[in-house]
Every structure is written in C-alpha cells, then in structure tokens.
Amino acid sequence: MELKKLTAIVIVFFFLNACGNKENLIPDVPVNYNGSLIGGELEGITSPGNVRIVSNTAVGVAGLILYNNAGNIRAYDRCSTVNPVQKNAVIPIGGNLAEDKVSGALFNLQDGSPAKAPATIPLKRYRVSINGNLISITN
C-alpha cells in the first residue's frame, strides 16, 4: 500500500513540475529573417559590443535583438522569459544587458542568460548565418 502512495506522489510531483515549466516557455514560431548588414536597422552590428533591434513583431514572438559578442553575432527573441504570455519585449540598456521594463528582469546579451531576478530562464536564441553582407536568422 505504501508503494502505491509513493508512486502517486512521484507522478503528481512530475506532473506539476512539467506544467509549471511550460508557463515560462517562449512559444515556438517560425523565424526566417533575412537582412543586410549595410544600411538599415542592422547597420553597425558587425562591430563588437553593438546591439540592434528588429522591431518587426512578425519576426519571432516579440521581434529580435542582436548582439555582437566579440565578433560573433547572437540573435534572441525579444520576448522576455518572465511571463512570456504578455510578450513583453526586452530593450538594450547599455553594455551587454537588456531589460524587461515590466518585470525589471535583466538579461546578459553575451549568452542570453538571466542577470537579475525575477528572470530565471535565458532568452530564446536563434541561429545566425552570414554570407557576405547578408544575415539570415532562423530557428
């Protein structure tokens, strides 16, 4: 009889844990952004430390934020991982940080990791490929 109770408790624990984690996931949406590194909204992203925003919310969940990490361009969804159903877009605040103005959470743009509570989950990262002066961002 005790084994059945223990098994039931373990099953409930895993069920509740799985449900809780899904609330903080950024939805999977198709991302296929192509742009020029010369002129336009991405001008200057090829310089280390620079940040650029693709504000088109039709790309990703809340647009894209790009960061040049020592010559490697990183692309993240701007949707904050704190209450992602609200689709709050993070904004660069200087250095390598982006902020969710609604929750006050900070994210490190070098790797997308949470830098200040209440953030506990990194920003959603997308693949970046560069061919000459063209950049492609996909998932």
Q: For the ranges 16-25, 39-48, 84-93, 107-116, which has the lowest average pLDDT?
A: 16-25
**Token pair belonging to 101:** 């103005």
Which pLDDT belongs to residue 13?
42
pLDDT tens digits, 1-53: 565 654 445 454 444 444 444 455 899 999 999 999 998 899 999 999 999 99
DSSP the chain: -HHHHHHHHHHHHHHHHHHHHHTTPPP----EEEEESSSGGGTTTTSTT-EEEE--TTSTTT-EEEEEETTEEEEEESB-SSSGGG-PBPEEEETTEEE-TTT--EEETTT--EEETT--SPPPEEEEEEETTEEEEE-
Contact 93, 71 (CB under 8 A): no
Confidence of residue 73 (pLDDT cuts 50, 70, 90): very high
Q: If you average pLDDT over every residue of the chain, what do you get? A: 87
